[in-house]
Amino acid sequence: MSLWSRRLALAFVAALSLGLAACGKDESQGASGSAAPVADTAAFTILAGSELKDLEGPIVDAARAAGVDVKLSYAGTLDIVERINAGERFDAILPPNGAYPALALQTKPLARDKLFYSRIALGVKNAKAAQLGWNRKPPGWAEIAKAAGAGQLRYGMTNATSSNTGMSALFAVASALAGKTEDLSAQDVDEKTLKAFLAGQKLTAGSSGWLADAYVKDPSAIDAMVNYEAVILRANEKLPKADQLALFYPRDGMISADYPLMLLNAGKREAYTQLVATLKAAPFQRDALSAAFLRPANPEVPAVAALPTAAVAELGFPNRLDVIDAVLGTYQSQWRKPPPRSSCSTSAARCRASAWRRCARRSSCCRAPTRPAPPPPPPARATAPSRAASAWCSSPSPRRCRRRCGCASTPTRSTPRAPSCGAWPTA
């Protein structure tokens, strides 16, 4: 064989080998792509409770040191669930309590790790606590409701249909009075005592952080606030001594926050694992959490001295979504006394969820100034409730619509996007 022929044969063999190698590479990539999601190198996005905004800097810095770029957004717990169910994309959520999201999310989280804790407390001005005798013995929920119903206690609490603190307090009152926790039903609720409790609410907001901001701005408006102990203690640092709030944990129990980081994007599992390890490590749990008055999840790290160490009664969260929806729907349409416009303007102005603004305009408070007024209600249908209706809700989310606008009926998920979902009773 000539030299030229040998060179031609070698070139042919080399080309054939390269072709086979390329085919094998494509096949292996296809197989691996079907077996595991491709890692995403973009920022790790988290939708978190608004009260964690003070912790954003330490979280971002700790994550960056671990090689994870974190971007945080904020909302109330129920708004977090509604926004995810409506299709907004986040890699993870960080709600105060994982019980409700675990029940209500249409797509269940891929992983869940508790990062830190905070008890929900009733913060009361010292002068008011002494007047009511609570400085000698912590009150129970019945005593708190009695003082509120008699006009002796004016307090602030978040909207139970948008925020975890308001919802948890509502179910804590109901559970304590009924003597039940996870197995609570709508029929077990003591409506008379619950209405007395809600009569004392004079300030509200769409989330815990915004409620604290409103109190710091005008502490004379209320005597007490239902909020996370961490948020109350951070607010105290900005207040004169006379307006600072002492922590009270009702004798018959409260539902605490456990702050689970819940993974939603399978492509970000590696970043999620790195982030959890960093945020549960001793340096972050000791330094960042102490400054924010949060209780560490790492058992080797003690809590800051400002946090009470005495044991408190813990109540469970209802374990049925239909019970939660029934109680919240009744709260919105019958039990809740609409606060004045000035009290709820904070949540409407700061909330970015369009459905909340839409529903807020139809309720008795928080009119959004940037959009035209809603059209008049359509004629009553034979199937509509006989009670008078002041507005019709067109939210794409039936559950949100029912809780926030008090709609008496709920369309099925197959209903088109913009039908009315029932009449909003004025009573």
Within-domain flag for 24: no
CA dihedral 385, 390, 394, 398 (to 10 degrees): -50
Within-domain flag for 327: no
Within-domain flag for 271: yes
Which of 215, 248, 281 terminates a domain? The answer is: 248
Going by their DSSP bridges, the two strands 92-94 and 44-49 should be labelled as parallel
Instruction: Say what the pLDDT of residue 194 is.
Output: 87
Closest C-alpha among 66, 59, 87, 399 to residue 261: 59
- Do 107 and 124 belong to one domain? no
Within-domain flag for 287: yes
- Do 189 and 210 belong to one domain? yes
Instruction: Say what the pLDDT of residue 391 is.
Output: 36
Instruction: Say what the pLDDT of residue 174 is.
Output: 86
Q: For residues 138 and 250, is the Cβ–Cβ distance under 8 A? A: yes
Query: How many domains are contained in the chain?
Result: 3
Instruction: Say what the pLDDT of residue 182 is.
Output: 66
Distance CA 308, CA 248 (A): 10
- Do 291 and 213 belong to one domain? no
Instruction: Say what the pLDDT of residue 17 is.
Output: 47
Instruction: Say what the pLDDT of residue 33 is.
Output: 42
Within-domain flag for 302: no
Distance CA 125, CA 244 (A): 6
CATH of the domain at 175: 3.40.190.10
- Do 213 and 275 belong to one domain? no
Q: Which amino acid is present at 305?
A: A
At residue 82, the 3 state secondary structure works out as: helix
Q: Which amino acid is present at 174?
A: A
Distance CA 343, CA 203 (A): 5
Domain that holds residue 367: 353-425
- Do 165 and 274 belong to one domain? no
Angle at CA of residue 210, ends 204 and 408, nearest 5°: 45
- Do 78 and 183 belong to one domain? no
Distance CA 349, CA 217 (A): 15
Structure tokens, 373? 């007024």
Within-domain flag for 11: no
Helix extents (H) in 300-389: 321-330, 341-350, 354-362
Within-domain flag for 292: yes
At residue 44, the 3 state secondary structure works out as: strand
- Do 130 and 166 belong to one domain? yes
Q: Which amino acid is present at 102?
A: A
- Do 143 and 235 belong to one domain? yes
- Do 127 and 182 belong to one domain? yes
Closest C-alpha among 406, 410, 361, 363 to residue 383: 410
- Do 125 and 240 belong to one domain? yes
Closest C-alpha among 214, 206, 204 to residue 239: 214
Instruction: Say what the pLDDT of residue 29 is.
Output: 39
Asked whether the CA dihedral 37, 42, 43, 45 is positive or negative, the reply is negative
Beta strands across the sheet bearing 111-114: 70-75, 44-49, 92-94, 260-263, 111-114
Q: Which amino acid is present at 47?
A: L
Strands (E), 101-157: 111-114, 116-117, 120-125, 155-156
Distance CA 167, CA 325 (A): 11
Within-domain flag for 323: no
Average pLDDT per block of 10 residues along the chain, 427 residues long:
46 46 40 46 91 94 96 91 95 94 93 96 96 93 94 94 88 83 73 90 89 94 95 96 96 91 97 97 95 95 92 83 84 66 37 38 35 52 39 44 44 38 35
Instruction: Say what the pLDDT of residue 323 is.
Output: 81
What values do phi and psi take at 389, rounded to 5? Answer: -125, 135
Cα distances (Å, whole numbers) of residue 236 to 139, 383, 416 = 21, 51, 48
- Do 277 and 358 belong to one domain? no
Instruction: Say what the pLDDT of residue 176 is.
Output: 84
Instruction: Say what the pLDDT of residue 105 is.
Output: 94
**DSSP assignment letter at 223:** S
- What kind and span of H or E run contains 424? strand 423-425
CA dihedral 407, 412, 413, 415 (to 10 degrees): -90
Distance CA 176, CA 172 (A): 6
| Residue in the structure block whose two tokens are 């209802």 | 318
